[in-house]
Structure 1
Amino acid sequence: MAFKGVNDGVYLEIYGSDMDKIKEELKTKLAKSSGFFQGVNFLGVSGEDLSPEEMLEIHLILKYRYDFDIDLGDDLLDRLYMIYKSKRELESSVVKNSKEGMTKFLYGTLRSGQIVEYNGNIVVVGDVNPGAFLKATGNIIILGTLKGVAHAGFNGDNEAIVAAYNLIPNQLRIADIIVRAPDGDISEYKLPEVARVYDGEIIIEPYLPNK
């Protein structure tokens, strides 16, 4: 693993998928650089070999064990915790439909004009603004609000899903099925939501916490 600096701050790049080794290496690395990251704008974690649950765990460890000031917002971390703790079926669906675990993680807000296409799943830790476009052969998961365009399963996979904390897209596509938002709104729910294909149409359902 390596901490990498960019114009806006610092992010952590993680290689491999052995969580025990990752956490031990993180502990060692931070012990050697105690105090170095105080006041640094920390942007998040990148690691294509990690599952969404593992990404969440590392973010929470950094924030609550090592006092990192993570540039995602406390409310967004709460959303992460809520979605991944209470939506086991959603997690299983992401893993099931993943092509050899290929998942691209994006951090921050996607703005108008930004286009992201990926052969696998896309997970956005942030919001997708109107005019932004996501296209994936697998699932699209938004840990925030989707207001742009999302096209999951664009290679014809009608078992792909689109999920978000708040689904109000300009347009939603799964495989070759398209639904547009009337008056800029599709969903009536105020909970994390998932869009999937059922009987040839796209339906949107809330995900309620497991008891």
Structure 2
Amino acid sequence: MEEIELKRDLVTFKGVSEGVYLDVVGNDLEAIKDELNTKFNNASSFFKGAKFLGVRSDELSDDQIMEIKLTLKYKYEMNISNEGIPEYIEEYYTENVNENENENDTKTKPFDGIQEGVTKFIHGTLRSGQEVDYNGNIVIIGDVNPGAFIKAKGNIIVLGSLRGVAHAGIGGNYDSIVAAYNLLPMQLRIGDIIARSPDDEIEYKSPEIARIIEGEVFIEPYLPNK
């Protein structure tokens, strides 16, 4: 099966229970700022109200990191926290655990449902034959077409239609969820529990969420607390 060919992002927003931090690759400050601008233009509402913890980089100088923070604060109006990036995140990188490691790597901190874990954001549609496999949560801003595969140790969130195959909670995290604006997967799995779409598929005009209840996968409309 062909894995999706994605260019390595220079900047990646990653969510943890304490807030959001920015993981930066490389030291080309202008290219980094250009990519930041693109991400905010495509998904500005995603970051509204988020608590920003800091910038994580192995290559940028302190002055460059400060310039990025000031850009986030004044240009994009992000709420900059004084807490800083949590220590366990720094330990995660110190142990050389990168976002492409496979699910059997024992160095990785186990997930605890929707509350914890690094998150990979993917912008665009996944097409048939493409696959995304990540050792954390996955958020796809786009559709997942039939024949595309998503595999995550944590949760899977699709801001579009999910019509491919989704496997959340790899490794036995039964608190994981799968959610989408239009949830019509070819196959959906949480942990080792499989649910398939019924033959008479019904399209709901509201987001849906799949979770495990009493050992079975239940799919229901997402009803936020009012």
* Structure 1 position 57 matched with structure 2 position 48: yes
**Distance between the aligned counterparts of 1:14 and 1:199, measured in 2?**
36
Q: Deviations over 1:3-52 (max 9, x none)?
A: xxxxxxxx883578899x99xxxxxx9xxx9xxx9xxxx7535xxxxxx9
**Residues 111 and 16 (structure 1), Cα distance of their counterparts in 2 relative to 1, 3 Å cut:** closer
* Structure 1 position 140 matched with structure 2 position 150: no
Structure-2-length-normalised TM-score = 0.53
Tell me what 1:101 maps to.
117
What does residue range 1-211 of structure 1 map to in structure 2 within 5 Å? 13=11, 44-45=39-40, 55-57=46-48, 97=113, 101-183=117-199, 185=201, 189-211=204-226
**Distance between the aligned counterparts of 1:184 and 1:176, measured in 2?**
24
**Distance between the aligned counterparts of 2:131 and 2:200, measured in 1?**
20
Aligned-residue CA RMSD in angstroms?
4.1
**Residues 140 and 14 (structure 1), Cα distance of their counterparts in 2 relative to 1, 3 Å cut:** closer
Q: Deviations over 1:28-84 (max 9, x none)?
A: x9xxx9xxx9xxxx7535xxxxxx9984429xxx9xx98xxxxxxxxxxxxxxxxxx
Tell me what 2:103 maps to.
none
Contact 2:151 2:170 in 1 (8 A): yes
Name structure 2 gaps, 5 residues minimum.
1-8, 23-28, 50-71, 77-110
Tell me what 1:70 maps to.
none
**Residues 15 and 141 (structure 1), Cα distance of their counterparts in 2 relative to 1, 3 Å cut:** closer
* Structure 2 residue matching 1:178: 3-state secondary structure: strand
Name structure 1 gaps, 5 residues minimum.
1-10, 23-28, 46-51, 67-94
Structure-1-length-normalised TM-score = 0.57
- Aligned pairs, how many? 149
Q: Deviations over 1:138-158 (max 9, x none)?
A: 100001110000000011111
* Structure 1 residue matching 2:39: 3-state secondary structure: strand
**Distance between the aligned counterparts of 2:174 and 2:14, measured in 1?**
30
Question: How far 1:209 sits from its partner (Å)?
Answer: 4.2
Structure number with higher helix proportion: 1
**Distance between the aligned counterparts of 2:177 and 2:14, measured in 1?**
26
Question: How far 1:100 sits from its partner (Å)?
Answer: 5.2
